[in-house]
Chain A
C-alpha cells in the first residue's frame, strides 16, 4: 500500500536553477517524510543527492537548501525556524545552520517545504519565492550593502512591507569570508543562520538574498496538537524565565562562576568576576536593553534589542552568549559598548561571531607568542577593544590582515609556524563555541565527533551543566551520540532548541513522540523518533565520509584541549588527553555501529534504511 503524505506537509520541493532562472517542482516522497521528517533531515537528503563528493564548497555544484519543518505554522511552540543546508567552506563537509524569525512560517505557507538553489546566477541577484514558485531577480544596486539595509531595500522593491520576509547576505558573504552568515531582519526580531558559512556559499552563487512572500497553505495536524502544546506551556514558561529576562547573555555569569568560560584564547577559563559582570546579561539588561523581541509563535521572547548612544546603535540585536564568548572574554575586552559595537558590525556585515571571534583570539595569541607582529596588524593585542571593532570591518572587506582572518583560524594557522597549531580551538576546521571542550566531558567527545566540527548544536551542553556527563567519561560517548540524535530530530522539527530543551525535555522522550504522532498521524514510539534523529546523523556522516572529512583521524580535538589542563579556577585540571579521547571514540563508534575508522557499516546503513543515500553520496 502506498503511503500518503500527512496534511501537515506542504508537499513540495522547489528546485531553482540560478543560471537559467528556471524552476522545477518535485513532490515529497512520503517515505522520505517518514525517514527524514523535515528541516535538517530534508536538507541533508538534498545535499546527499545533489552535491558531488568532490565538489568544492564554492563550486556551482554545491547547493544551498532552505527547509522548514512539519510543525511550522502549527500550534506546536516556537517552530518558526528555518534550516539552510550546504557543503561548508569551513569544514568541506555537510553543514546545517538554523535561524528564527518570520520567514520560515511564511515559507511554510507557500507549500514548499524545501527550496534548493542550484548553480550560479549570471548577474548579482536575489531569489523571490511565493506559492507560485521562484523568480531570480536583479540585485543591481545592492552590491556591498549591509544585511539589514538589504532586507529593507528588498522589502521596498517588492512593496508589500514586512510581508516580504528576507534572509540576506552582507558584504562578508559577497567577499566569500568563509564564515559569512545570513541575517533575517523581520518585523519581530532578527534571526541569524550563523555558522558554517552559508553566506559565503550564497555569495559564491552571486545571490544577495532569499525573499519569501507567504501563501495560503495551512498545515493540518492529524490530531489535537494544540491541546498537547497548551499542556506544555506552563513548564515552558517556568523553565525559560532567565531567557525571557536576559536572553542567552544571562549565561555569562553562571558559566564563568563554574570556571568553564574561555578567556584569553582559552589560556584560562575564568574571567575576573567584575570583568564578566561588565558583559553579562544582567549588565546588558540594566544598561542597554530597550525591548524584548521574538520569532513568530513564541511566547518566550528571548530576543532583545539594545541601544548604545555613544556607538550610534539604536535597537541593535543583543549579543548572544556565544558572541560574548567570542568577542569579549576570549579577547579580554570588557568594554560592553565596544563589544556591542563589534557584534552589531558582525551582524550588519554578515559574519559568524563565534568563528570570527575565535579566529581573532587565535591571532592575538599568535601575536603574543611572536608568530605575528605589528607588520601583520596593529590590532592584535589582547584587550584592544578599538582594534577588535576595526578588525571586524577589515575582515568583512578582506582588507589588510582581515583577508587572513576571513579564512578562519585553521587556514590562518597553516600559513604560520607549526607552533601556531597549539593555539587553535576547534575541530574539522570549525571553531568551537563557548561550551568548554576541556571542562565538559560530553563536549569533548561531542565536538570531536560532530558532523559540523565545533558546533554546540550537535552534542548539547545543557544537561552537562547540571552534572550529567560533565566530569566523567562513563557512559558519555552514548550520551553524546544520543544528544546528537536529539538535535538532529529537533532541527528537523525546526523547533527552537531553547524552547524544546526547557519545555519538552533535553533528550528524545515520549512527549516528542506523542507530538509528532499527533501532527502526522503516524503512530511513533520514542524509539521510532530517536531513530529518525540517528538516521539523519548517519546521512550527514555518510556525506562527510564520501568527502574524505570524517574518520578517526579527523574525529579529534585541538592541542590545548588534549594537552593543557585548565590551569586554575573551579575546573582546574580538566582536559581530555589523547588516550581518553581514543577510549571514548571506541565506545562511540561501537554504540553507533560504525567501524574502527568511524565509518557507518553496511549493517548500520541497512538498519537505518539508508542504502539509497549511501549509494547516492558515493556517486
Chain B
C-alpha cells in the first residue's frame, strides 16, 4: 500500500525531504513506519521510537491529521492512501 509521509522540523532536516510517497506492506503500523525511517536515516536513530518501542517523546505522529494518541498509538494500523505527519511535539506558543 502507498503512504504519504510528511516531515517537519528536525525530522525533515534528518530525512532531507519535506514529503515522500512510498510503498509499505499491508497491515503496516505506525511503529513499523517509524522503525523503517530510523533504519533508513541514521540521524533519526533513537529519536522516533523509545527503547521500549513506544513513540518517543520527541515527536508527535498524526494519521490524516489525527494524533495517534487518540488511535492505537504505535500499534495504529495504516491504510492505503493514508498520510502520516511526523512533527515535533507542541511546546511554546
| Residues of chain A having any CB pair with chain B under 8 Å | 238-243, 245-248, 250-251, 253-255, 257-259, 270, 273, 277, 281-282, 302, 320-322, 434-435, 456, 461-462, 465-467, 470-471, 497-498, 501-502, 569-571
On chain B, the residues within 8 Å of A501 by CB distance are 91-92
Within 8 A of A (CB), among B23-43: none
A259 near B9 with CB under 8 A, answer no
Within 8 A of A (CB), among B58-82: 58, 60, 62, 64-67, 69-70
On chain B, the residues within 8 Å of A243 by CB distance are 91-92
**Measured CA separation A277–B69 after assembly (Å):** 25
**Measured CA separation A241–B89 after assembly (Å):** 10
A462 near B91 with CB under 8 A, answer yes
Number of residues of chain B lying within 8 A (CB) of chain A: 24
Q: Look across to chain B and name the residue whose beta carbon is closest to the beta carbon of A572.
A: B65
**Measured CA separation A460–B92 after assembly (Å):** 10
A322 near B65 with CB under 8 A, answer no
On chain A, the residues within 8 Å of B16 by CB distance are none
Q: Look across to chain A and name the residue whose beta carbon is closest to the beta carbon of B64.
A: A570
| Residues of chain B having any CB pair with chain A under 8 Å | 6, 8-10, 12, 18, 57-58, 60, 62, 64-67, 69-70, 85, 87-93
On chain B, the residues within 8 Å of A257 by CB distance are 6, 8, 62, 65, 85, 87
**Measured CA separation A197–B27 after assembly (Å):** 54
B9 near A242 with CB under 8 A, answer yes
On chain A, the residues within 8 Å of B62 by CB distance are 257-258, 570
Q: Look across to chain B and name the residue whose beta carbon is closest to the beta carbon of A242.
A: B88
On chain A, the residues within 8 Å of B57 by CB distance are 239
B57 to chain A, nearest CB (A): 7
* Of A241, A250, A434, A497, the contact of B58 (CB 8 Å cutoff): A241
Of B8, B85, B92, the most chain A CB neighbours within 10 A belong to B92
B88 near A241 with CB under 8 A, answer yes
On chain B, the residues within 8 Å of A321 by CB distance are 92-93
On chain A, the residues within 8 Å of B93 by CB distance are 248, 251, 320-322, 434-435, 456, 461-462
The 8 closest A-B pairs by CB, nearest first: A570-B65, A467-B69, A254-B87, A242-B88, A465-B90, A498-B92, A321-B93, A257-B85
Q: Look across to chain B and name the residue whose beta carbon is closest to the beta carbon of A570.
A: B65
**Measured CA separation A71–B87 after assembly (Å):** 33
Q: Look across to chain B and name the residue whose beta carbon is closest to the beta carbon of A462.
A: B90
**Measured CA separation A470–B58 after assembly (Å):** 20
